[in-house]
């Protein structure tokens, strides 16, 4: 004879709590940006892969855009090259560009694809260079009103999401590195050097808009957008595009491309853009499938879009 205690009820409640969210998000595209600072340990990376695969099996269409800033800096350091940032962007010499490409496409992307594919033949890696996904032109940093040359940093000029849509239609999970081909034909024809280093938050936001995604989710190493960083740890849970626009000039480095990206996304058809804590295991599932939600959510101004709650 065997007996069983009824411990299953809380589990069932959790599943039932997910039901309205499953219905709401079914068939919707979610672009998830996984920041280099959130990839701090193996457990977290595995949990991230599980969450993304869960979304896919729950009927959503997840797309991963990954970062790798700290990993690039570590490799540059090994090679005796310095890392310098201006306005939150890496000053990218042609030599550094080769390292950026090697680390993002050859190391970080490969690792994430491998972790996702432990769950089945799902993930396919690509960079913005593939199938004309991302075209860019040279970006100049604006430092106190001055136009500063920061090397091979790109500003996205066009996105062709066709290849990503095709992969999604085929049930795959695209994993994208933020490298773009030059939209200048002559530069592009120069092969290896005809590419640009694009900030991964910016790339994720532009892709979310081009795909008509429902949600942009940015995983980082803080709980969300702090109101008075670094003096307070009060997280802003929800703000409109206009409210965010007013805050932008006061934001510091790492948050600038993230929040600019969120603003761009919600102003271009994405229903919600969220910044969440990637250090919390299964933060993606908590954000998508539970009533609480975590982190900071940005919504369009006239919040008339059904589902932007
Ligand atoms: N208002 C703010 N709220 C939260 N974090 C902020 C804020 N302003 C600046 N930051 C900094 O931004 C960092 C996140 O950006 P970044 O280091 O580029 O992360 P990622 O690798 O995830 O893209 C945080 O760790 C924090 O130091
Ligand atoms: C132009 C620029 O700064 N590109 C970034 C690309 C990687 C990135 O954005 O990684 P995180 O999301 O981990 O910061 C860089 O070279 O670090």
Tens digit of each residue's pLDDT (9 = 90 or more) over 43-67: 999 999 999 999 999 999 999 999 9
Calculate how far, in angstroms, residue 231's C-alpha sits from the geometric centre of ligand 2: 25
Sign of dihedral through CA atoms 287, 291, 295, 299? positive
Which pLDDT value is given to residue 309? Answer: 45
Mean per-residue pLDDT over the chain, rounded: 91
> Is there an atom of ligand 1 within 6 Å of 36 CB?
yes
How do residues 1-37 score in pLDDT, each as one tens digit?
766 666 678 888 888 888 998 899 999 999 999 998 8
The complex's ipTM works out to: 0.95
- Is 136 within a domain? no
Residue with CA at minimum distance from ligand 2 atom 13: 36
The sign one gets for the Cα dihedral 40, 42, 43, 47 is positive
Question: 273 C-alpha vs ligand 2 centroid, how far in Å?
Answer: 19
Q: Which atom of ligand 2 is nearest to the CA of 85?
A: 3
DSSP for 237-271, please give it.
-EEEHHHHHHHGGG--TTHHHHHHHHHHHHHTT-S
In a domain? residue 190: no
Residue 219 CA, closest ligand 1 atom number: 22
Within-domain flag for 88: no
CATH number of the domain at 104, please: 3.40.1160.10
Instruction: State how far the Cα of 11 lies from the Cα of 3, in Å rounded to an integer.
Output: 19
Give the residues surrounding ligand 2 with Cβ less than 6 Å away: 35-37, 67-69, 72, 89-90, 100, 153, 178, 197, 199-201
In terms of DSSP H, where are the helices of the chain? Answer: 9-25, 42-57, 69-78, 94-103, 109-116, 162-169, 185-188, 200-211, 241-247, 255-267, 283-289
Q: Is the pLDDT of residue 301 over 50?
A: yes
What pLDDT sits at residue 195? 96
Structural domain including 284 reads: 33-75+97-128+165-179+204-299
The Cα–Cα gap between 153 and 167 comes to 28
Q: Specify if 274 maps to a domain.
A: yes
- Among residues 306, 280, 270, the alpha carbon closest in space to that of 297 is found at 270
How many other CB atoms are found less than 10 A from the CB of residue 129?
20
Ligand 1 atom nearest residue 37's Cα: 21
Q: Which two tokens stand for residue 90?
A: 């890496």
Residue 14 alpha carbon to ligand 2 centre in Å: 36
Is the whole-model pTM more than 0.90?
Answer: yes
Q: What are phi and psi of 188, to 5 degrees?
A: -60, -35
What do you get for the CA distance between the two ends of the chain, in Å? Answer: 49
User: Is 91 among the domain residues?
Assistant: no
Residue 68 assigned ligand-binding role: yes
pLDDT reading at 190 higher than 70: no
Instruction: Say how many domains are in the chain.
Output: 1
Task: For residues 61 and 53, give the distance between their C-alpha atoms in angstroms, rounded to a whole number.
Answer: 10
Q: Cα separation of 201 and 255, whole Å?
A: 9
Q: Is 148 domain-assigned?
A: no
Is 84 part of any domain?
A: no
Looking at residue 54, its pLDDT comes to: 97
Atom 18 in ligand 1: which residue has the minimum CA distance?
Answer: 254
Nearest ligand atom owner, CA of 76: 2
90 occurs within a structural domain: no
Where residue 308 falls among pLDDT bands split at 50, 70, 90?
very low
């Amino acid at each position: 004879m065997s007996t069983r205690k009824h411990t299953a009820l809380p589990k069932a409640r959790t599943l039932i709590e997910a039901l309205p969210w499953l219905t709401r998000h079914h068939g919707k595209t979610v672009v998830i940006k996984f920041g280099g600072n959130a990839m701090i340990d193996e457990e977290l990376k595995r949990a991230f892969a599980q969450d993304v695969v869960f979304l896919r099996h729950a009927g959503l269409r997840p797309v991963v855009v990954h970062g790798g800033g700290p990993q690039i800096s570590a490799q540059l350091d090994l090679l005796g090259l310095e890392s310098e940032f201006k306005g939150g962007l890496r000053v990218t010499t042609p030599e550094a560009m080769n390292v950026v490409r090697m680390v993002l496409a050859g190391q970080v992307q490969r690792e994430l694809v491998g972790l996702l594919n432990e769950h089945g033949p799902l993930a396919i890696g690509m960079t913005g260079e593939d199938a004309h996904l991302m075209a860019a032109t040279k970006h100049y940093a604006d430092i106190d009103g001055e136009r500063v040359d920061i090397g091979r940093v790109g500003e996205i000029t066009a996105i062709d999401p066709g290849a990503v849509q095709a992969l999604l239609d085929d049930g795959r999970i695209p994993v994208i590195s933020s490298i773009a081909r030059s939209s200048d034909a002559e530069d592009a024809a120069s092969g290896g050097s005809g590419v640009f280093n694009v900030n991964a938050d910016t790339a994720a936001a532009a892709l979310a808009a081009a795909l008509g995604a429902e949600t942009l989710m940015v995983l980082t190493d803080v709980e969300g957008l702090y109101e008075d960083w670094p003096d307070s740890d009060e997280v802003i849970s929800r703000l409109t595009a206009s409210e965010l626009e007013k805050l932008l000039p006061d934001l510091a480095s790492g948050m600038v491309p993230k929040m600019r990206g969120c603003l761009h996304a919600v102003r271009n058809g994405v229903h919600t853009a969220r910044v969440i804590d990637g250090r919390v295991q299964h933060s993606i599932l908590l954000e998508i499938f539970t009533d609480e939600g975590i982190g900071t959510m940005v919504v369009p101004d006239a919040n008339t879009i059904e589902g932007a709650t």
